[in-house]
Amino acid sequence: MNVRRYAAAVVYWSFAIRLPWSPRPGGRAAKQIRWWLGRQMLDECGRDVSLEKGAWFGSGKGIRVGDRSVIGLDCLVIGPLVLGEDVMMGPRCTILGVNHRTDSVDVPMNAQGLEDERPVVVESDVWIGAGSTILPGRRIGKGSIVGAGAVVTKDVEPYSIVGGNPARLLRRRTP
C-alpha cells in the first residue's frame, strides 16, 4: 500500500467512518471528508461520491466508484468492485468479490483459503435496496433495481427489477 493510501486509510478508519450520516446535522461536512479520503484510498473515486457512515471497503484496492454513486450506510464491500455512475445503495448491503474455497471435505473450510477474485460490476443508474447481498462475479445491468434483502446469485439483465433469495426477476422496467 502506498503512503498516500495508507495515511488516508488511517484517518478513515480512526474517525471518519464514524462521522455523521449525510442527512444528519454535520453530515454535509462528513460526506466531503469521507469523499476526499475515498479519493486517496479507492482505485477510482468519481465526483460527488458518497461513502456513508460505517461503509467498510478495506484499503480500497480493487474498488472503482463512478460519479454521484453511494456506498451506503454500514455497507460491506470486499472487492474487486466496479460501481457505475448514479448508483444508489441502501443501508447494510454486502458486496463480495471473493469467496472461501470448499473443494475438499478432508480439510476444514476455514483452512482451504480463498477462491480467485471475481469482480462484481454494477452498471450505471442502479438502485440496490437495503440489506441486499451481491455474490462474487455478478453483473447488475444498467437501470436495474435490486429489492431490499435480495441475494443476487446470477447476473441481472439491464432494466430489471429483482428480489428474493435467491433473487429472481419480478418485472422489467421500460427504458
pLDDT tens track for 80-109: 999 999 999 999 999 999 999 999 999 999
- Residues of the chain with pLDDT > 70, as a percent, come to 99
What is the mean pLDDT of the segment spanning 158-162?
98
Inform me whether the pLDDT recorded for 2 exceeds 80.
yes
What is the pLDDT of the chain when averaged over all its residues? 95
SS3 36: helix
What is the mean pLDDT of the segment spanning 29-36?
95
| Per-residue pLDDT reduced to its tens digit, 132-153 | 999 999 999 999 999 999 999 9
pLDDT band at residue 12 under the 50/70/90 scheme: very high
Our answer to whether residue 104 is catalytic in this structure is: no
Please check whether residue 117 is in contact with residue 97, taking contact to mean a CB–CB distance below 8 angstroms: yes
Inform me whether the pLDDT recorded for 121 exceeds 90.
yes
Please check whether residue 88 is in contact with residue 126, taking contact to mean a CB–CB distance below 8 angstroms: yes
Buried b (16+ CB within 10 A) or exposed e, 36-48: bbbbbbbeebbee
What is the mean pLDDT of the segment spanning 57-73?
96
For residue 174, what pLDDT is reported? 83
Please check whether residue 79 is in contact with residue 61, taking contact to mean a CB–CB distance below 8 angstroms: yes
What is the mean pLDDT of the segment spanning 13-29?
93
Question: 139 versus 1: which is more confidently predicted?
Answer: 139
What is the mean pLDDT of the segment spanning 108-129?
96
Q: How many residues are recorded in the chain? A: 175
* Annotated catalytic residue within 18, 24, 28, 100: 100
SS3 156: strand
What is the mean pLDDT of the segment spanning 19-43?
94
Closest CA to 88 of 31, 147, 138: 147
For the domain spanning 3-172, the CATH number is 2.160.10.10
Per-domain residue ranges for the chain?
3-172
Report the alpha-carbon distance of residue 110 to residue 129 in Å, rounded: 30
For residue 149, what pLDDT is reported? 98
Inform me whether the pLDDT recorded for 1 exceeds 80.
no
Q: What does the angle CA 75 – CA 34 – CA 82 come to, to the nearest 5 degrees?
A: 55
Inform me whether the pLDDT recorded for 131 exceeds 90.
yes
